[in-house]
Every structure is written in C-alpha cells, then in structure tokens.
Structure 1
Amino acid sequence: MRQSPTVRKRRLVAELKHMREAAGYTVDAARRELGWSSGRLNHMESGRSRPDSSALRDLMNTYGVTDPARREAVLALGRQSKERGWWDVYADVLPDTYIGFEAEAAVISTYQPIVIPGLLQTPDYTAAIARAALLRTSVEIERIVAVRKERQKLLARDDAPELRAVVDEAALLRLCRDPLLARQQIGHLIETAEALNTVTIRVLPIDAGIHSATFGAMVILDYADPLDPSIVYLETRAEGLYLEEPRQVAGYRQAFDHVAMDALSKAESIEFLKKAIE
C-alpha cells in the first residue's frame, strides 16, 4: 500500500483538532493546561511543526484519550508524518508539497488547457517546459526532468492510481512548432493510453466551444481512506493553491465532470492523437 508522509501529516493535523474540540478545549485553554507557549499548539495544528511522541502523549492525556488502539494510531501517524518521501531530495526544484499528496491518491482527475499533464510528459517535453519558464539553470532543468520521471513510476505500480486526464487540443497545437517533439510526446500519450487500463486520456477539441473549465487547469485528488478528504490543487507560477472545503471540491468536481463530458471519448481521443502525428 502506498503511504505518503505528506498525507499522514494532514491526517494527524485533523486528528489533533478533533481530539481538542471533542474534549471541549480552545487552543488557548489547551496550551495553558499543558504549560506550552502560545505558538506551539497552533504550529502543530496548522502542520507547520510535527509533534514528537512525548508531545502527542501529553496532548492525549490532557484531552482524556485513553483507548489504547486510538492512542497507538495517533502515535503511528506521528511517526509516519516524520518520514521522508523520495521527493524530499528534490526540494530545490519543487515549489510545494503537491507530489506528496499525489503519491497516495487513489484517483487523480486533471484538466490541462495549456500543457500536457506532468504524469504523461516525456523527458524532452518536460525540459522544454522548464526552459520556457525562464527561471531554471541547466542543472535545475536536469533535476526537474529527473523528479518528473521518478514521479511517473507511480503509474506502473501494482497499486497505481486511476488517472483521468482531459487535455485541451490547444496543448497539442502548441507542439506544432517542433514536429519531432510533437511526435515523441503525442506518441507517448497514445502508448500510455493503450497500455495502461488505469489511465484515461481524453482530448477536448477546440470546436467544443466554451466549456465548464474556462477558469483554467485543475487537479482533483481522491483518496481510498475516508479519513483523507479530497483535495483540489491549482498550480501557480510559485507555490500552488490547495482547496479542501467540501463545497469548493464539489464545485471543481462538477466542472471537471462536465468538461470530461464535452471531451472526446477515450477511443475517439486515441484516434485524434494518431491523426495528429500522421
């Protein structure tokens, strides 16, 4: 089973808040009861710091959590949240923690109007995108390509997530200036769509007109465990934006479902891609 320390930290944060609220404590009342500084508990509940086992035991004792199984589950979350993901060594070229959330997702739904989704990019395409950003050295570009290739191994695992990708025709048209790159990248999309039954690639043609996702790109991450609520990720030039409120997630899910309905079917999309490189 795939586990991500990023997802475990998020679950731990939710559990800390839940235990405190169930015990009837405010943050200020709890930290005074514990004799902690004003920022310590706030930092734990916001995910800015990861509590050690001693701090977790103090919290559970204060909140009256006595069930041995629950106590051990909280301590296990604490240990798991402190582990390092393989992506940590690439922190210098990663703008945020998205890969950590992606690593444990059961379903990844993405609409991309400008570029090919990262999990489906070839190394040459990834390098071209990085160069176009104008902010990367040759060494950084090599590391961006390396981390993307490592990230894509997720799709080949026995427990691979379901990937549902809607790619706007505009992203394909942007490849026209480089026929060789176009043939490599589009060929890779075809090969992946035909080889992996966990991957669905659908093309949204220009003639679909105005659609439900005109606001731009999005990624929706869904998890197998109900303790891990779905997340919407919106990429920016710097650090990405994460949306977790159920109403927000539902709105983006509705937009994705509708844009997917406007796109070509899986079979039609593969034929469209094949014709694009004839």
Structure 2
Amino acid sequence: MPAQQNPVRRRQLVAELRRLREEAGYTQEEVATQLDWHHTKVFRIETGRTGPHPNDVRVMCDLYGMRDKEHLAALIQLAKESRKRGWWYSYRDILPSRYEFLIGLEDEASAIHTFQLAVIPGLLQTEDYAYALCKGGPLELDADEIRRRVEVRINRQRVLAKPDRPQLWAIIDEAAIHRMVGGPEVMRTQLQHLLTVSEAGKTTLQVVPYAVGAHSGIVGPFVILRFADAAENDIVYMETIGGNLAVDKPEDVRNYTTAFDHLRAVALSPDETRTMLVTASKSIG
C-alpha cells in the first residue's frame, strides 16, 4: 500500500505530467519505450497508483521538451512532497482500502462536509465510541487490530486542532444520536462531546430529524472535501464494506453537493440541534 503524505500534491503533479505528455504528442506506451521503462509505469504514474520519483519527473520533462527550469524545479518539489510518509504509515497494514487517501485529503482540505446516516462522523467520535464501533463492525478484527484502528481514528482528529484547520460541517441523521453504541455511559459522553464541538469555531453540526421522512442522504453516508486552490477539484469519499471509494469527476461531485445542500435545508438549525442533543443525553437511562 503506497504511503501518501500529500495526495493533493500528487494529483497536481499527475495532471501536469499528463498535460505535458499530451502537448508533446506522446502516448503512454511511447514514453515508456523511450525511457526504457516497463510498459505500465507511465500508466501507474498518471493514474496516481505510483508516486513518481523526482528523477522520473526530470527525465519525463526532458523527453517532453520542457526547458523552463523554474517549472521543472516546482514539479520536482511536488514529487518530493507527494512521496513523504504521513504519521499513518505505520498503520498501513490495518487500514482499509484508500483510507490513508482520506487522511491525506483531510490534512489538505479547507472544508470538510460530511453526512452520516447511522453513526457519528469519525472526526467527532470519542475514543470509547470509536472502539465500540470497531468491535461491533462488519469486519472480524482481533483486539490489537481494533486498538490500532481506534488510534488512527483519534489521531485523525488532530487535523481539527491545526491553526489552519478545515471548516467542518457535519450533518447526522437522528438515528445516529439514538443508536446506543457502547452502552449508556459511552453514548452519553459522545453526545456531550458533540455539544462541546458544536459550540467551537469552524464546526457546524446539524441533525436531520425523523419527522423529515425520506431525504437526499437516505441511500448512505458520504464526505465532500474542498480545497483552497480553486484549480483543485472537490472530492467525494465513501466507505463501503467491499472497499472505500473516491469520486472527483465534477458532474458526479455535483450530485453529492446538491444532496448535501438539500440536507442542510431540511436539517435542524445548529441551535435546534444542540437542544435535541441535550434532550437525547438526558433521556439515556
């Protein structure tokens, strides 16, 4: 599993290398032949499956006839940054497919919009709640795997403590605040944590009440990640049992953005949400 410190940097690099190749009039196969590489190497680089070494970038740019030294230096720096290992590298053996991709994107994002249908969003979970979820989840994990997955989830939350932290907007179906994950005490503490974070800056929390009935998130949870660079496309991330998915085609992302806007419109306001959380917390026996 390749480690990705800066997936956004990698995407920028890949897009530029692809553009330079196409402008030079080469196919992927022709580039591989010219550079005496395996015939799939250029494909793996341009699809982000392989992080190009700075030396790879140098020879590719030379082949493409790119002589701008400042431009070349910038691309080589992107290659170096995209290959750095993040803190999660030591957990790579237990991370689900593409999960490290999400962590890297969260670290780069300027805004994170998340909808959860049945559970509290990972960035807002307490440690005990996260442990109960992992233990009762769909995968058969041993005690050490559960412990390490919980460590990753809690460490992910450090992104919200950065000076340039992303703005977090979380919408939760009412079912998530009533599901007794981990027992009464764990759930009470989790709801109190939601109250605390909902009063902090850059975090907006809303609940979609049962009274709304069917809504635009009924088919499942998703996360929309946005970036400060206007040239960087938004990305939608979804977790599934069979493997996690990332979508970045603008027309596909737009569908999720529209769904999130509809959820915001029917959800309780942040103040009404806090009132519901207080009531739910008090109702726990």
- Compute the TM-score of the two structures, normalised by the length of structure 1: 0.94
What is the root-mean-square deviation of aligned Cα atoms in Å? 1.6
1:106 aligns to 2:95 (yes or no): no
Give the equivalent residue in structure 1 for 2:33: 32
Instruction: Kindly indicate whether the alpha-carbon contact (under 8 Å) linking 1:87 and 1:100 is maintained by their aligned counterparts in 2.
Output: no
2:226 equivalent to 1:222: yes
The residue aligned with 2:279 is 275
- Letter of the 1:104 partner, please give it: E
2:167 aligned with 1:167? no
Q: What whole-Å deviation, never above 9, does each CA across 1:156-211 have from its counterpart, x for those lacking one?
A: 111110000001001112128822122110000001111x2110010010111111
Deviations 1:95-142 (A, max 9, x none): 122211221111100110011000000001000000112411111111
Instruction: List gaps (5 residues or longer) in structure 1.
Output: none
Please, which of 246, 259, 266 is the counterpart of residue 262 of structure 1? Answer: 266
CA distance in 2, matches of 1:152, 1:52: 30
- Given that residues 203 and 269 in structure 1 are in contact (C-alpha distance below 8 angstroms), is that contact kept between their aligned partners in structure 2? yes
In structure 2, the residue matched to 1:73 is 74
8 Å contact kept, 1:112–1:168: yes
Deviates further, 229-238 or 182-191: 229-238
Q: What amino acid sits opposite 1:19 in the alignment?
A: L
Cα distance in 1 for residues equivalent to 2:183 and 2:82? 44
Instruction: Give me the whole-angstrom Cα distance separating, in 2, the residues matched to 1:254 and 1:152.
Output: 26
Number of the residue aligned with 1:138: 143
Residue correspondence of structure 1 range 179-194 to structure 2 within 5 A: 179-194=184-199
Which aligned runs of 4 or more in structure 1 are off by greater than 3 angstroms? none
Note if 1:158 corresponds to 2:163.
yes
Aligned residues: 275
User: Is there any run of 5+ residues in structure 2 with no aligned partner, and where?
Assistant: none
Distance in structure 2 (CA, Å) of the matches to 1:125 and 1:176: 6
1:87 aligned partner, one-letter code: W
Amino acid of the residue matched to residue 105 of structure 2? F
| Superposition deviation, residue 226 in structure 1 | 2.6
Distance 2:71 2:242 in 1: 38
Identity %: 41
